Amino acid sequence: MGNPGHVRTFDRIAPVYDARYGRGCAPAHELALDAVTAAGVSPGVLLDVGCGTGRLLALARVRWPNARLLGVDPAPRMVAVAARQAPLAGTAVAAAEALPLGDASVDVVVSTTSFGHWADQRAGLAEVARVLRPGGAGVVVEHPPPGPVTRLSLWLTRRLPRLRHADVMVALASGAGLRATRCGPAAGFLVTVVTRPG
């Protein structure tokens, strides 16, 4: 699964992704990890959905050295880079819509700058709800929707992700059985924190 056009794009740029985009992604990773800490959930098992090159997993290892870290991404070449950059994390080729994990098996799910590329955001959030343990937390850090000029440029280059406003993120989370505890702007990103009731 996953958006086939986006998977091909990310496979093609995997070897140079960090050099080109790593600096821009670093604040999103820090925001996500800070949100996990603020949520007060101990990440015994942390899953990064859309893990890309594994940079967040490497940062999470420093913060939580005893946590079991897992990363999935639908782009095989991104997963190969992640396996090298975060060798102590378990990585797999998988999309948000079909997570290869058991029910209630994860304490924390994070996703940074990948939610807009999920082929089916509702199904992906339903999977997040399925794998989260009751009381577990999810954090999505994504770019806010662009203005009309940027949107046209992205459409013309066929790179238009489906970026959401805060009210839509809250509604999508609620529809998946998750409770949004925070959803708002931070450092140029939209940060959404959800919990699985229980």
pLDDT class of 158 with cuts at 50, 70, 90: low
Nearest to 63 by CA among 92, 94, 86, 91: 86
Amino acid symbol at 16: V
The CA-based angle 112-98-183, given to 5 degrees, is 35
Show the domains of the chain with their CATH numbers.
4-195 (3.40.50.150)
Q: What is the pLDDT of residue 150?
A: 52
pLDDT tens per residue, range 76-114: 999 999 999 999 999 999 999 999 999 999 999 999 999
The predicted model gives 173-177 an average pLDDT of 95
Which is nearest to 109 in space by CA: 180, 179, 6, 33?
A: 33
pLDDT digits (tens, 9 = 90+) for 108-135: 999 999 998 899 999 999 999 999 999 9
d(CA 95, CA 7): 10
Supply the pLDDT for residue 3. Answer: 72
At residue 148 the predicted structure's pLDDT band, cuts being 50, 70 and 90, is low
User: Which of 17, 184, 43, 187 is closest to 110 using CA atoms?
Assistant: 43
pLDDT at 24: 85
Q: What is the pLDDT of residue 44?
A: 97
Of 40, 36, 38, which Cα lies nearest the Cα of 48?
36
Average pLDDT over residues 44-66: 98
Q: Which of 51, 54, 48, 53 is nearest to 14 (CA)?
A: 53
Distance CA 102, CA 97 (A): 14
Of 49, 42, 62, the C-alpha closest to 140 is 49
Cβ contacts of residue 175 below 8 Å, gap of 6+? 122, 125
Q: Which residues contact 1 (CB under 8 A, 6 or more apart)?
A: 74, 95, 96, 97, 98, 119, 120
Q: According to the model, what pLDDT value does residue 21 have?
A: 87
pLDDT tier, 160 (very low <50, low <70, confident <90, very high otherwise): low
Which two tokens mark 162?
Answer: 């489906």
pLDDT > 80? residue 149: no
Q: What is the mean pLDDT of residues 32-59?
A: 97
In contact, 97 and 124? CB cutoff 8 Å: yes
Mean local confidence (pLDDT), 145-155:
54
